[in-house]
Structure 1
Amino acid sequence: MLLSVVAGVDGSAESLAAAEWAAREAVRKGRPLLLVHAWSRSPYSLVSVAANTAQRSEAERVLKAAADRLAGACPGLLIQTAQVEGPAITALSRLADGSELLALGRRTQRGLAGLPGGWVARGVISRVKRPVALVRAGEGQERSADVSRSRDVVLGIDLGHPCAEAIDFAFEEARLRRCGLRVVHAWCDPPPTAGEARAIGLFEADRPEEERSGLLTAVLKMRRDAYPDVPVIESVRRGKASSSLLRVAAGADLLVVGHRLGKQSHLGLHSSPTASAVMRHARCPVVVVPYS
């Protein structure tokens, strides 16, 4: 059974952009598309029947409008729709863990803890074990009529904790899009995680740029051998990781970063400053790939 690409739709410009991006992703991957609208039942018995009926009607309208729009843009794509009851974070997280990936709208205003505006996106990313794509309004449409050809995919790597899942995802995206892959590792001097890096023995904080370049090449070797048709540019930069990634991804088609599972609090997602910054400021869609 083919896993679906899932998009959360609430009628906003951001969610429609995410749905359009997800539709083209489903075409590339040969997967069906599932559009989902989540709503919660009214807790007040005197108004619950009318309120719930209105919510179901609105959900049906939003889903139909989105499905009709995407059917015209991606003829032949299998599009399914579903209403799910319950808190949006819980409902979408449950669907995401059984999907190929989940796409959500990305608001750009600053939220709590400097994360993208929107509790739903933050809460879902903190819970799910599948990739989550965040798409801003206007990013869902292809820059070219040919959806098989795109600009480069950018992958950010922390050599202290290289995320195999994110590396695999980025190489596969570059293959499907028939484009290049730019892999970026950046560090500050001294690096913020120097003590942790020494403890796990992957590299010394004072290693020169040449040694870091060699380590990056070694980390990518197996994937480069498995994807010989994907052009790869490796970049090792001294400086703030988020700034380096944002500069490289300014003209990219997609930015991929890893998120370590288990880092959360009562506020939701507890991602690294780098992941938080690129989710907030990147000018292209961002895919957050979880890892243990």
Structure 2
Amino acid sequence: MARAVIVGIDGSPESLAAARWAAAESVLRSVPLHLVHAWKWSPSASVPSSETQRHWAGRILRTAIEHLQESHPGLQLTHEQISDSPAAALLAAAENAEVLVLGSRGLSGLTGFVTGSVALGVVAHSPRPVVLVRAERHTGPRSPGDELRPAGAPGGSDVVVGIDLAHSCDEVIEFAFEAALVRGVGLHVMHGYALPASYMIAAGGGMLIDDSGLVREREYALSTVLEPWREKSPDVVVRASSVSGQAVAHLVEAGADAPLLVIGRRERTSPLGMHLGSVAHGVMHHAACPVAVVPHS
């Protein structure tokens, strides 16, 4: 089965914003778009039967399809409604995804298609890249059902990627180069590092520190890692930065106007835990632009 851009739909404005972003991404990548709506029936006064919920699910999908067909004529689009928990349905769908796209609301947490720990669990265990799309409110006239638009609208800004030189991250770099290439923009590669303890002790004692040698060492290491990727994608203009201090703050600032901010997630064999590092967790919660979380070995 050919890979597709897959987006989770729950009928919320945030998921519709994610669907619009996913539609644009499918056009850029020349792959189909697949909409997934998951529901798990449980008896209640508000949902009298599984048949009723199935009808609601169908209406949610039809509404999203109408919006996307209107904004992207000719879009190759398929859809599916699944009677299962959202997390299970999304992780199963991700097996055939070019990217899996989810909507999220606000800057302090992950809500929208899935909430809280479920969203984090999907990101932490997906075998394929997951893109979280923020939603921004329109400042101009609105049309019905178009209350929110996806953040990170296409523009001239560079794609931003954060990499960890201490671990192999070819999958992350490859994804970032491809994202920049299909958008026709540059790529800003960032590597964060911590100053050695001796530097911190000296600084704490009021001594002036010359860290130029360390900066040159980090920049050389970053350049060496990127060299083969520059050769593979000569059309992508690459800007590399080695920065010390809080990696999350640097990445969030660099990605303020970016069409996409790419970070990695190390794959772990243990089924326990969230499998998300502090940098990935921080960026996911504070970045204003779409964030792609790419699993790597």
Calculate the TM-score normalised by the size of structure 2: 0.83
Q: Which has the larger radius of gyration?
A: 2
2:238, 2:217 → 1: CA distance? 19
Give SS of 1:208's match.
helix
Distance 1:214 1:4, change over 3 A: same
Aligned to 2:86: 88
Give, in angstroms, the shift of residue 260 of structure 1. Answer: 0.9
Q: Which residue of 2 aligns with 1:196?
A: none
Given that 1:255 and 1:286 are in contact with CA atoms closer than 8 Å, whether structure 2 keeps it comes out as yes
Aligned to 1:67, what secondary structure does the other structure show?
A: helix
Contact 2:152 2:260 in 1 (8 A): no
User: Aligned residue for 1:54?
Assistant: 52
Take 1:117 and 1:3, find their aligned partners in 2: how far apart are those partners? 26
> Which amino acid in the other structure matches residue 228 of structure 1?
P
C-alpha distance in 1 between matches for 2:290 and 2:108: 17
Q: Aligned in 2, Cα 1:143/1:122: closer, same or farther, shift over 3 Å?
A: closer
Partner of 1:11: 11
CA shift, 1:227, in A, is: 0.5
Query: Given that residues 16 and 137 in structure 1 are in contact (C-alpha distance below 8 angstroms), is that contact kept between their aligned partners in structure 2?
Result: no
Over aligned residues, Cα RMSD in angstroms? 2.5
State percent identity of aligned pairs.
44
Moved over 6 A (4+): 46-49
Report the alpha carbon displacement of residue 209 of structure 1 after superposing the two structures with TM: 1.1
In structure 1, which of residues 170, 173, 177 is the aligned counterpart of residue 179 of structure 2? 173
Whole-angstrom distance in 2 between the partners of 1:291 and 1:141 = 26
Deviation (angstroms), 1:160: 0.7
Structure 1 residue ranges without an equivalent (≥5): 192-205
Which of 215, 228, 248 lines up with 1:209 in the alignment? 215
- SS of residue paired to 2:285: helix
Distance in 2, Cα, partners of 1:13 & 1:90: 22
Amino acid at match of 1:106: S
- Name the stretch that deviates more: 46-55 or 280-289: 46-55
Matched, 1:283 2:281: no
Query: In the alignment, which of 265, 273, 277 is matched to residue 272 of structure 1?
Result: 277
Provide the rounded CA distance (Å) in 2 between the counterparts of 1:6 and 1:286.
15
Corresponding residue pairs, total: 268
AA aligned to 1:95 is A
2:288 alignment partner AA: R
**Gap change, CA 1:29 and 1:85, over 3 Å in 2:** same
2:87 maps to amino acid: I
| Larger deviation, residues 182-191 vs 25-34 | 182-191
Query: Residue 131 of structure 2: which of 133, 138, 145 is its match?
Result: 133
Kept in 2: contact 1:157–1:257 (CA 8 A): yes
Distance 1:48 1:111, change over 3 A: closer
Q: Give deviations 1:188-211, integer Å, cap 9, x for gaps.
A: 2238xxxxxxxxxxxxxx971111
On the 8 A contact 2:8/2:90 being kept in 1, the answer is yes
The aligned counterpart of 2:266 is 260
Residues 226-270 of structure 1 deviation map (CA, whole Å, 9 limit, x = unaligned): 10010000001111111111111112111000001228776x523
Q: Deviations over 1:134-163 (max 9, x none)?
A: 00123526745xxxx542100001111141
Which amino acid is 1:289 matched to?
Answer: V
CA contact (8 A) 1:263 1:269 kept: no
**Residues 186 and 63 (structure 1), Cα distance of their counterparts in 2 relative to 1, 3 Å cut:** same
What is the SS of the residue equivalent to 1:167? helix
Query: Is there any run of 5+ residues in structure 2 with no aligned partner, and where?
Result: 137-148, 198-211
| Structure 1 contact 110–117 (Cα < 8 Å) conserved | no
Residue 76 of structure 1 corresponds to which residue in structure 2? 74
Task: Tell me which of 164, 170, 186 is aligned to 1:164.
Answer: 170
The 2-side partners of 1:263 and 1:275 are apart by 18
Q: TM-score, normalised by structure 1?
A: 0.85
